[in-house]
Amino acid sequence: MWICPKCGREFKRTNQGHYCGKAPETVLEYIESQPSKARPHLTEMRTIIRNSVPGVNERISWSMPVYEKEGKTISFSACKEHVSFYAGMEAIEEFSCELNGFGTRKNAVYFPYEKALLVFKCINTGKDVYRQLDAKDARAA
Protein backbone atom coordinates (compact mmCIF):
# COMPACT_ATOMS: atom_id res chain seq x y z
CA MET A 1 0.00 0.00 0.00
CA TRP A 2 1.17 3.48 -0.85
CA ILE A 3 -0.29 6.65 0.68
CA CYS A 4 0.00 9.88 -1.30
CA PRO A 5 1.78 12.41 0.91
CA LYS A 6 -0.15 15.28 -0.70
CA CYS A 7 -3.77 14.08 -0.47
CA GLY A 8 -3.57 11.10 1.90
CA ARG A 9 -5.32 8.63 -0.44
CA GLU A 10 -4.22 4.97 -0.42
CA PHE A 11 -3.20 3.07 -3.56
CA LYS A 12 -1.98 -0.44 -4.35
CA ARG A 13 0.94 0.82 -6.48
CA THR A 14 3.74 3.08 -5.28
CA ASN A 15 3.56 6.58 -6.79
CA GLN A 16 0.35 5.74 -8.65
CA GLY A 17 -0.80 8.60 -10.86
CA HIS A 18 -3.97 10.29 -9.62
CA TYR A 19 -5.54 13.66 -8.97
CA CYS A 20 -5.16 15.12 -5.54
CA GLY A 21 -8.42 16.92 -5.03
CA LYS A 22 -10.95 17.77 -7.70
CA ALA A 23 -10.51 16.24 -11.17
CA PRO A 24 -10.62 18.62 -14.14
CA GLU A 25 -13.99 19.27 -15.75
CA THR A 26 -12.75 20.55 -19.12
CA VAL A 27 -9.88 19.68 -21.43
CA LEU A 28 -8.38 23.13 -20.89
CA GLU A 29 -8.43 22.57 -17.10
CA TYR A 30 -6.76 19.20 -17.69
CA ILE A 31 -3.99 20.72 -19.82
CA GLU A 32 -3.41 23.61 -17.40
CA SER A 33 -3.09 21.16 -14.49
CA GLN A 34 -0.24 19.24 -16.16
CA PRO A 35 3.52 19.85 -15.84
CA SER A 36 4.93 22.58 -18.09
CA LYS A 37 6.85 20.13 -20.29
CA ALA A 38 3.58 18.32 -21.16
CA ARG A 39 1.38 21.32 -21.93
CA PRO A 40 2.68 22.16 -25.44
CA HIS A 41 2.26 18.53 -26.54
CA LEU A 42 -1.23 18.30 -25.08
CA THR A 43 -2.30 21.62 -26.57
CA GLU A 44 -1.00 20.62 -30.00
CA MET A 45 -2.74 17.26 -29.82
CA ARG A 46 -6.03 18.91 -28.81
CA THR A 47 -5.84 21.48 -31.60
CA ILE A 48 -5.09 18.90 -34.27
CA ILE A 49 -7.85 16.55 -33.16
CA ARG A 50 -10.43 19.33 -33.12
CA ASN A 51 -9.34 20.61 -36.54
CA SER A 52 -8.95 17.19 -38.17
CA VAL A 53 -12.06 15.32 -37.09
CA PRO A 54 -15.16 17.39 -37.97
CA GLY A 55 -18.00 17.06 -35.49
CA VAL A 56 -15.89 15.36 -32.80
CA ASN A 57 -17.19 15.77 -29.24
CA GLU A 58 -14.60 16.77 -26.64
CA ARG A 59 -15.07 15.79 -23.01
CA ILE A 60 -13.29 14.56 -19.90
CA SER A 61 -13.73 10.91 -19.05
CA TRP A 62 -11.54 8.72 -16.82
CA SER A 63 -9.96 12.07 -15.78
CA MET A 64 -8.44 12.59 -19.25
CA PRO A 65 -9.41 14.22 -22.57
CA VAL A 66 -11.61 12.00 -24.73
CA TYR A 67 -12.82 12.70 -28.25
CA GLU A 68 -15.86 10.85 -29.53
CA LYS A 69 -17.63 10.67 -32.83
CA GLU A 70 -20.39 8.20 -33.60
CA GLY A 71 -19.49 5.95 -30.68
CA LYS A 72 -15.78 5.72 -31.53
CA THR A 73 -13.22 7.33 -29.24
CA ILE A 74 -9.64 8.52 -29.14
CA SER A 75 -8.00 10.03 -26.08
CA PHE A 76 -4.72 11.18 -24.62
CA SER A 77 -3.12 11.71 -21.24
CA ALA A 78 0.02 13.22 -19.77
CA CYS A 79 2.42 10.88 -18.02
CA LYS A 80 5.70 11.55 -16.26
CA GLU A 81 7.95 11.16 -19.34
CA HIS A 82 5.52 10.91 -22.26
CA VAL A 83 2.08 11.61 -23.70
CA SER A 84 -0.10 8.53 -24.10
CA PHE A 85 -2.31 8.58 -27.20
CA TYR A 86 -5.12 6.01 -27.21
CA ALA A 87 -6.26 5.35 -30.77
CA GLY A 88 -7.42 1.74 -30.53
CA MET A 89 -5.99 -1.59 -31.59
CA GLU A 90 -6.87 -1.20 -35.27
CA ALA A 91 -4.90 2.04 -35.58
CA ILE A 92 -1.88 0.70 -33.72
CA GLU A 93 -1.80 -2.40 -35.92
CA GLU A 94 -2.37 -0.44 -39.13
CA PHE A 95 0.50 1.97 -38.47
CA SER A 96 2.90 -0.30 -36.58
CA CYS A 97 5.73 0.38 -39.06
CA GLU A 98 5.39 4.16 -38.72
CA LEU A 99 5.26 3.84 -34.95
CA ASN A 100 8.50 1.85 -34.81
CA GLY A 101 10.74 3.46 -32.21
CA PHE A 102 7.85 4.58 -30.02
CA GLY A 103 6.49 2.60 -27.13
CA THR A 104 3.16 0.98 -27.95
CA ARG A 105 0.62 -1.26 -26.30
CA LYS A 106 -2.39 -2.89 -27.87
CA ASN A 107 -4.35 0.38 -28.00
CA ALA A 108 -1.85 3.16 -27.21
CA VAL A 109 1.25 4.97 -28.43
CA TYR A 110 3.66 6.63 -26.02
CA PHE A 111 5.33 9.84 -27.26
CA PRO A 112 8.34 10.84 -25.14
CA TYR A 113 8.45 14.57 -24.44
CA GLU A 114 11.94 14.88 -25.90
CA LYS A 115 10.92 13.41 -29.29
CA ALA A 116 8.91 15.15 -31.97
CA LEU A 117 5.28 14.14 -31.96
CA LEU A 118 3.77 12.16 -34.78
CA VAL A 119 0.49 13.85 -34.03
CA PHE A 120 -0.51 14.43 -37.63
CA LYS A 121 -0.01 10.74 -38.40
CA CYS A 122 -1.91 9.74 -35.28
CA ILE A 123 -4.84 11.99 -36.06
CA ASN A 124 -4.94 10.68 -39.60
CA THR A 125 -4.86 7.23 -38.06
CA GLY A 126 -7.90 8.15 -36.01
CA LYS A 127 -9.67 9.49 -39.09
CA ASP A 128 -8.73 6.36 -41.06
CA VAL A 129 -10.06 4.14 -38.29
CA TYR A 130 -13.34 6.09 -38.27
CA ARG A 131 -13.56 5.70 -42.06
CA GLN A 132 -12.74 1.98 -41.94
CA LEU A 133 -15.28 1.32 -39.23
CA ASP A 134 -17.89 3.40 -41.08
CA ALA A 135 -17.23 1.42 -44.26
CA LYS A 136 -17.59 -1.88 -42.37
CA ASP A 137 -20.86 -0.64 -40.85
CA ALA A 138 -22.15 0.37 -44.30
CA ARG A 139 -21.27 -3.04 -45.79
CA ALA A 140 -22.95 -4.84 -42.90
CA ALA A 141 -26.19 -2.88 -43.34
Mean pLDDT, residues 117-133: 58
* 84-91 own/partner pairs: CB under 8 Å, 24+ apart: 84/108, 84/109, 84/110, 84/111, 85/45, 85/109, 85/110, 85/111, 85/119, 85/122, 87/122, 87/125, 87/126, 87/129, 88/129, 90/129, 90/132, 90/133, 91/122, 91/125, 91/126, 91/128, 91/129
Does position 31 have pLDDT exceeding 80, yes or no?
A: yes
Looking at residue 138, what is its pLDDT? 63
Instruction: Tell me the CATH architecture of domain 21-140.
Output: Alpha-Beta Complex (3.90)
Across the chain, mean pLDDT equals 83
Global pTM reads 0.71
47-105 tens-digit pLDDT: 988 988 889 999 999 889 999 999 889 999 999 899 999 988 888 888 888 888 888 88
Looking at residue 117, what is its pLDDT? 63
